Structure 1
């Protein structure tokens, strides 16, 4: 991976996960900067990773080849307008935010910028994440390759051809860890109500979830439906549980939830 000077605006969980992945992979920590209004998160990053820290977005961005915007969508306009005081034409801008379109960034900066939108999920923090990437035709192959390697430090990546497909990425990967957490939470709560120790219930559920995900990944020739059928003996216990899920229209609930997730992303695009 080509090592460029890189600045992360914001020092939250995603900045920590990406910078940790970079340093672990051998990226020179002295080429990495992180900025944040408050000091504690910065001090923690500096102590753990020996990267450069600052409260000054402009100074850090000015000396960087790559600027990664890791702030909440409602703060993005303010941050971009501040950075627009700089000449951004030769810098690569990477954004990690839902609901803020590429056109909106161009408006915020009021100058042409080289922009790549990314949509990672929280498992990126532990190196098993999934990130969706989008860039228009103005972004060079070299820049796209750099961003791909950068985000791959937290897991796997996939490019989408149309920007609005990132909303599908949000529903399928960005938000979906919470769906699985909810399912696990419900299973643990049910077991607790039936007298199972919470620690034991969690151990059983988390290992089953991990194993199921591993089986999907390690058997690409088999559909999820086929893997489910392989576990479901006719007239058995699993069949009874699956019948209860189907009767409650689990598929319809999931489809409705995903559509609502996408709709909210579209609303945010109009809002920001």
Structure 2
């Protein structure tokens, strides 16, 4: 039985404020010689969140205490508009005072079959290791209309259960290659957040949260961190099918 925490936000600004307050608390708990490690996701919702943070909250936390990674990346150059790194850089990172050495991008311009193992080794070098697996303090994930998360699609569900930390995937329609974290790393994080907005995602949210049998086809339904700390950050539209008893907090 799932025990996810579900928070519904009235608007993107309330979501940004919540995110910053959360980061401030976490950073306050970080030792002086340590960092808070986070894997970012791509997509329209994180873009709007990053824009809101860079506009109104960029000076409220100590960015030097954060190390930033990515949950997945498209195999394109970092200057390409499709790049998850490019989106995060142009909407957040270039506006905040974070040391360049604290940013660890997946190199989408490299051969993905070479980049995936390189990034796996980088995670081993930079993150805490728990039970032999790199462990993020926080992983941010999106949810696709088909139930995919990171760059693991229903047609390649086996990738979620790979023994590797990072693997190469292929978008089922465009055939574009991607690099993605696997479930082995995702579920070893201290905390995982699904960031989901829009009416078009409401059905998948409902099916996963309620553990409908059809959700077994969705990679996102297997995100269940060993820590037990999975939080859904939703807007009103993406949460509209959920029974109110499932929702922990409205903001």
Indicate the TM-score class for this superposition, using the shorter chain for normalisation: 0.3 to 0.5
> Comparing both structures, which one devotes a greater share of its residues to strand?
2
Structure of greater Rg: 1
- Under a length normalisation based on structure 2, what TM-score does the superposition of the two structures give? 0.38
- Under a length normalisation based on structure 1, what TM-score does the superposition of the two structures give? 0.36
> Comparing both structures, which one devotes a greater share of its residues to helix?
1
Higher RCO (Cα < 8 Å, 6 or more apart): 2
